Amino acid sequence: MPKTGRVKPQKNESYMAKDDTISAVVGRLFLALAGVVLVVYGIAKVGYAILKADLPAFLETMVETAKNQEEVLTKLGGYKAYEYTFNKHDLAKDTLPYEVIVKGDTAYLLIRGYATKKKDDWVPVIKDSTFHSYE
């Protein structure tokens, strides 16, 4: 019968090189994983900075003010999250309508208004702020 060119595996054959130990392989895998995590973290930070670049500062100031007022936190049932809404195209104009929602466990605070541009800063004007229960 003709030979096919296949080689039988040896009994003690290993896929690792002779110098590699399990701890060396695990160490290299850990370094590779750590590198991937650092790259993903860096991309996330850059993306977050790009998203926040056009955000008027007064919106986050409003949220921080609401979070630091004990009466507001009591009505909300504690602080949970926030959202804001504005039209990015209005940033080029002199007036910026906005909406800020500060969420708690039992209710949320809805703040509506507009901001006017003074030099390079936005000055917010609150038209309406109301508490709404989730029930």
Query: What CATH number is associated with residue 103?
Result: 3.10.450
Asked if residue 91 and residue 28 are part of one domain, the reply reads: no
Cβ atoms of 100 and 59 within 8 Å: the answer is yes
- 74 shares a domain with 47: no
Q: Are residues 38 and 61 in the same domain?
A: no
Same domain, 40 and 81: no
5 occurs within a structural domain:
no
Residue 79 and residue 65 share a domain: yes
State what percent of residues in the chain have pLDDT above 90. Answer: 48
Q: Identify the band that residue 126 occupies on the pLDDT scale cut at 50, 70 and 90.
A: confident
What total number of domains does the chain contain?
2
* Alpha-carbon span 90 to 59, nearest angstrom: 15
| Residue 4 resides in a domain | no
Distance CA 77, CA 70 (A): 10
108 within a domain of the structure (yes/no): yes
Residue 2 lies in a domain: no
**Judgement on whether residues 45 and 64 belong to the same structural domain of the protein:** no
Residue 44 lies in a domain: yes
| 11 assigned to some structural domain | no
Question: Containing domain of residue 79, as a range?
Answer: 56-133
**Is 67 found in the same domain as 41?**
no
Q: How far is CA 1 from the centre of its chain?
A: 67
73 and 116 co-located in one domain = yes
Look up the pTM and report it: 0.63
> Torsion over CA of 39, 42, 43 and 48, rounded to 10 degrees?
160
Whether the pLDDT of residue 17 is over 60: the answer is no
> Phi then psi for 124, rounded to 5 degrees?
-80, 145
Mean pLDDT across the stretch 47-70?
A: 84
CA pair distance 129, 107, nearest whole angstrom:
13
> Is residue 3 included in any domain, yes or no?
no
- 94 pLDDT exceeds 80? yes
Q: Which pLDDT belongs to residue 20?
A: 65
